[in-house]
A = this chain, B = another copy of it.
Amino acid sequence: MTVTLADVAKRARVGTGTVSRVLNGARNVSQSTRDRVQACILEMGYRPNLVARGLAASRTGMVCALIPAIGAPQHGEVIQGLGDVLHEHGIQVMIGDCGYQPDREEAIVADFLERRPDAFYLTGVVHNAKTRHMLRASGIPIVEGANLTDDPIDCVVGYSNHDAARALTLLMHKRGHRAMAFVASTSEHNDRIGDRLKGYYAACAELGWDSRHLVLENANSFSGGAAAVERVLRHPSQIDLLLCATDVLAVGAIFECQRRGIDVPGRLAIAGFDDLPLAAAINPGLTTVSVDRIAMGRVAGHMLLQRLSGRQGAHAKIDVGFTIRERASTCAGPEA
């Protein structure tokens, strides 16, 4: 039926080991033999069976990547960077969608491990105990991404969501905003959102705003952002800046202001987080925190390759940093 390595060996009048060596680029094969084998491979249209290779070599050439939502552009970009790097080394990425649910993540990790991937990429740095244990026990390289932690399962590449939120809050204060509200998205198990909120609290503490700050929680959707505006406007103290934990919330908030005829940033300024393409396109442009997610994915890919080749030990930690993009949705401030 399908042509196997043994068929190629027979036709080229060599042993199966030799064909295998040619395929894997081992250099101790004479040029003449190599050419003959290559010719047979072409003539016969031979395509290796990676399942068999995986079993024999206990290397599958597969890396599993878990993201909380397929179809979210942020995570797509990370996967793109990761894939770009890994594909060059013949490694395919298998994506799992764990929908912000630790239980689901655990189930997917368990399933994926049965396929014997060479490595794992996880979004976020908080995972349940069983997940951590399974991954540790598997002994394969793990990279956690999109945030930072001092206690990674293995390696971590990302940026400090905490520091970014803190920096954004302080910058907004410098620009003259004094009465802020923070909208977090409903997500008990999203460490990035959690850290953003903590960063906001940290900045508030530094500014001496002990607990007078308003914190809302809404679904991470356009309508969640709209609902936040409603609540902010009702609030007794005149709030002048709405800090949103995601761009989606922020954009929803801007739309709601448009509907209500509320001037942004004149009456209410709005800032987001993620720098989606939408943030630059909307009117007014959305002030937000930007991270080069494709680069982050690439770094994750390189880390995994290093770990797989043994050239890199565990517990590496890389901070890819962040940039605050100031646009027209917040005030330019006194000095600008």
Instruction: Using CB atoms and an 8 Å cutoff, list the residues of chain A in contact with chain B.
Output: 47-52, 54-55, 60, 62, 69-77, 79-80, 83, 92-95, 97, 110-116, 221-223, 226, 251-252, 255, 258-259, 277-278, 280-283
Query: How far is B113's CA from A49's CA once the two chains are assembled, in angstroms?
Result: 9
B80 contacts A70, C-beta separation under 8 Å: yes
A55 contacts B51, C-beta separation under 8 Å: yes
Name which residue of chain B comes closest to A293, CB basis: B71
A50 contacts B258, C-beta separation under 8 Å: no
List residues of chain B with CB within 8 A of the CB of A95.
Answer: 70, 93-95
- Select which of B71, B111, B112, B277 is within 8 A of A80 by beta carbon: B71
Closest CB pairs A-B (n = 10): A71-B76, A222-B281, A71-B73, A70-B76, A51-B54, A50-B114, A50-B115, A258-B283, A51-B55, A95-B95
Distance in Å from the Cβ of A329 to the closest Cβ of chain B? 13
- Select which of B54, B94, B281 is within 8 A of A251 by beta carbon: B281
Interface pairs (19), CB distance under 8 Å: A47-B114, A49-B55, A49-B114, A50-B114, A50-B116, A51-B51, A70-B70, A70-B76, A70-B79, A70-B80, A71-B77, A71-B80, A72-B73, A80-B97, A92-B94, A221-B277, A222-B280, A259-B283, A278-B278
B48 contacts A114, C-beta separation under 8 Å: yes
Further pairs besides A47-B114, A51-B55, A71-B79: 7, Cβ < 8 Å: A48-B114, A70-B80, A72-B73, A73-B73, A92-B94, A93-B95, A94-B95
Name which residue of chain B comes closest to A83, CB basis: B97
B97 contacts A111, C-beta separation under 8 Å: no
Query: How far is B94's CA from A232's CA once the two chains are assembled, in angstroms?
Result: 44
List residues of chain B with CB within 8 A of the CB of A72.
Answer: 71, 73, 76
B71 contacts A75, C-beta separation under 8 Å: yes
Residue among A49, A72, A73, A281 facing the most chain B CB atoms (10 A cut-off)? A281
B252 contacts A281, C-beta separation under 8 Å: yes
